[in-house]
Amino acid sequence: MAKTYMIGNWKMNQSLDEITEFFSSIKGKTTKEGNFWIAPQLIHIDRCLNLAQESNIKIGSQNVSNQDNGAFTGETAAVNLKEMGAHFSLIGHSERRAYNFETDEFINQKAKKLLENGMVAVICAGETLEQREAGKTLEVVLNQFKSALSEIEIKNEDQIILAYEPVWAIGTGKTASPEQAEEVHAAIRNLLKELYPALGEKLSILYGGSVKPTNVAELLAMPNINGGLVGGASIKAESFATLCNA
Ligand code: 13P
């Protein structure tokens, strides 16, 4: 059985005051056992690590460099995220593919850096509305994951997490129906079983795209949906706690 995760991607949001408020009000509210993670802005990771100490929330990054170190202005190395205490990094998010022109090969290099440094790679993929309407959803999503995982060996199911995030559902209020999402998740599961025969069933596949307290239960009820990667609804403690307890 794959583990369940609820991961908040805070994107470019939250002030220091709002972060302090989040961690003080979420205390004691995530009552279920589970894996509850938050990816704040890079400059807030240290603060979040401090504030999260008394909770069961793990902190990670929204991005990581594909290089070890050196003259890469503005980049952040996996080795330094790790030494700071970051547990994971998102990679392959559609916003970075679109606005920062990140390619599949680049994302694959980032995944390798994370694993080499003992961090968890949370790999995202998803189709645009145009691709879905052209009947290309499975082809696009499976190819993105295949490329991201190229030449990657894993020893256990905790090293990588996959997140299916249809681009048309991100921040739009439009969620994929549980059946639409499950169709893609089942195809991703088959790919994982092919790539990692011993671990395919145990790897977690999250759904992202307008997950909120009102639709989380029906999504999590699907056999291959092992949690959520959540933007907007992860920013307020009340709402994130509800998702974690779902
Ligand atoms: P929303 O939950 O705001 O749609 O964002 C999803 C997302 O992009 C998480 O990475």
Mean pLDDT, each 10-residue run in order, the chain (246 residues): 96 98 92 91 98 93 98 98 98 97 97 98 97 96 98 97 96 89 98 98 97 96 98 97 95
Q: Bridge partners of 228?
A: 6, 207
CA of 174 to the centre of ligand 1 (A): 11
Note the pLDDT of residue 175: 85
User: H or E segment at 182?
Assistant: helix 178-195
Ligand 1 centre distance from Cα of residue 3 (Å):
20
CB crowding 21-37: b at 16 or more within 10 Å, else e? ebbeebeeebeeebbbb
Please state the domain count of the chain: 1
Residue 157 pLDDT: 97
pLDDT number for residue 147: 98
Cβ neighbours for 148, distance < 8 A, ≥ 6 positions apart: 91, 92, 104, 107, 108, 111, 123, 125
Q: Is there a contact between 225 and 178 (Cβ–Cβ < 8 Å)?
A: yes
DSSP 8-state symbol, 34: S
Residue 208 CA, closest ligand 1 atom number = 6
Residues 72, 153: Cα–Cα separation, whole Å: 27
**Do residues 118 and 112 touch, judged by C-beta distance below 8 A?**
no
CB atoms near residue 220 (< 10 Å): 18
- How close is the Cα of 32 to the center of ligand 1, in Å? 22
Give, for ligand 1, the residue of 5, 6, 9, 97 to mutate: max count of ligand atoms closer than 8 Å to Cβ. 9
Q: What is the pLDDT of residue 185?
A: 98
Contact 61, 89 (CB under 8 A): yes
pLDDT of residue 55: 87
CA atoms of 3 and 20, how far apart (whole Å): 29
Write out the residue range of the structural domain in which residue 152 sits: 5-27+34-245
Please tell me if the CB atom of residue 166 comes closer than 6 angstroms to any atom of ligand 1: no
- Taking alpha carbons only, the member of 46, 88, 65, 63 closest to residue 12 is 63
* pLDDT for position 54: 82
Tell me the CATH number at 118: 3.20.20.70
Ligand 1 contacts CB of residue 9 (under 6 A):
yes
Residue 9 CA to ligand 1 center (angstroms) comes to: 7
Counted residue by residue, the chain has a size of 246
- Is the beta carbon of 98 within 6 A of some atom in ligand 1? no
User: Active-site positions?
Assistant: 93, 165
CA distance 178 to 217: 10
Separation between Cα atoms, residue 164 and residue 182, nearest integer Å: 10
Residue 242 CA to residue 231 CA, distance in Å, equals: 14
Token reading at 23: 């961690």
Instruction: Give this prediction's pTM.
Output: 0.97
